[in-house]
Amino acid sequence: MGPPQAQGYAWTRPNLRQPLERGVHVRGALIRYRIMAWIVGVGLILVFVGIPFPTFEHIIGPIHGTLYIVYLIAGADLARRAHWTLGRMVMVVVAGFIPFVAFIVERKVTHQLERSGALDAPPS
């Protein structure tokens, strides 16, 4: 019995031993980082808005803290794939501490990666 057919196309198994192009890896890591930057940025603003309301702050604060850890992991993944310098990594870490800075740094990182050509996959 041969491989399954789907509307005239043969079912093919991906070659897992062949590495993907660098641009594909960086683009996916950038998308994850951008999503987490926005979530953490909004969460930090909610924490600062909620300071006068202790109940609200006690709910949002731990959620933001947990999501900040996920943001750091996404930033570390992007830093590894894009071969960042230590200064750029520190900039991303600090951006999650100061309200509105996460949005600014996210745009700056995105523009730098687009200009550098790191998001372009090399021709096959």
SS3 42: helix
What is the reported pTM? 0.74
| Domain positions in the chain | 21-116
Query: How many helices (DSSP H) and strands (DSSP E) are in the chain?
Result: 4, 2
Single-letter amino acid, residue 63: I
Going residue by residue through the chain, which has 124 residues, state the pLDDT in tens, using 9 for 90 and above: 555 555 555 555 544 444 444 456 888 899 999 999 999 999 999 998 888 998 988 899 899 999 999 999 999 999 998 888 898 899 998 988 888 999 999 999 999 888 887 777 554 4
Beta bridge partners of 9: 6
